Amino acid sequence: MKPNRLILLIWIVFSSLIVCSAEATQYLPEDWVSYTDLRYITSIAVDLRFVYFGTRDGICVYDKLKERWGDPITTGDGLPTRNVDVVGIDVYTNNLLLSSGSNIYSYASTLEDWESYEMEGVGGSFTSIGVNAEYIWGEGPDLKIRFDKITRSWVPVDRFEDDIKWFGKRGEVDIKKPRYSFLAPFYIPGRHLERYDMTAAVEDGKILWFGTEGYGSFK
């Protein structure tokens, strides 16, 4: 083979390797998984398969069927806010709900998109969010309100209906009641005498899921 042809062949092979390498390193956004500090649990929601832990930096997801953790949901995945005050599930639509400050967001897995239920002219933050067939409900200090799923509007209310499925403070168990005395003193001791207070607890059949302020979650 003549030297010029040999050089040309080597160049073609080398160029194709560069192209293949470049194509192999082109990642789509959904190929990436973001991991942040998810130890600070604020709220817990449970459905038939998953347990969702709201945190100060996203949402942790535990798969009860596979008995393992799934990928966390963070702002890198489109989560509209880092801080999750309350996490919940609309059992009528299977949408994932969360509240942060005075906003409530809904995630429809079929659309793979978050929707914001904005409250114009209404201040405050939520300690509980609830759902029934027609409305999404919110409660906070000096705040009782509902969101109409049809008209897409918020209306202050004086009382709550009886068929609401609650998440957050109203939906979690009160670990200070006598039946949960086995959890006393209601914190997890650290290695260096620090303490991690229990922040949320939810019953799931015979299982009690609970979270802490800085030490993750347990059952």
Express each pLDDT in 118-168 by its tens digit. Answer: 776 666 789 999 999 999 999 999 889 999 999 988 899 999 999 999 999
At residue 17, the pLDDT reads 35
Residue 180: partners with Cβ closer than 8 Å, 6 or more residues away: 173, 174, 201, 208
User: Which residues, at least 6 apart from 63, have a Cβ–Cβ distance to it below 8 Å?
Assistant: 49, 50, 69, 70
Task: Assess if residue 183 is contained within a domain.
Answer: no
**The predicted structure's pLDDT at residue 36:** 52
Q: What is the pTM of this model?
A: 0.81
CB burial of residue 143 (10 Å; 0-12, 13-18, 19+): middle
Q: Nearest Cα to 85, choosing from 65, 99, 102, 74?
A: 99
Residue 42 domain-assigned? yes
Query: pLDDT of 46-91, one tens digit each?
Result: 999 999 999 999 999 999 999 999 988 988 888 888 899 999 999 9
What tokens were used for 49?
């398969």
> Which residue segment(s) compose the domain that 149 sits in?
37-171
Q: Give residue 77's region: left, alpha or beta (phi > 0; psi -120 to 50).
A: alpha
Higher pLDDT, 179 or 28: 179
CATH number at residue 92: 2.120.10.80
pLDDT grade for 94, boundaries at 50, 70 and 90 = very high
Task: Assess whether pLDDT exceeds 60 at residue 10.
Answer: no
Across the chain, what does the average pLDDT equal? Answer: 82
> How many domains, the chain?
1
Q: What's residue 121's pLDDT?
A: 60
Question: With 0-12 CB in 10 A as exposed, 13-18 as middle and 19+ as buried, what is 157?
Answer: middle
Q: Is residue 187 part of a domain?
A: no
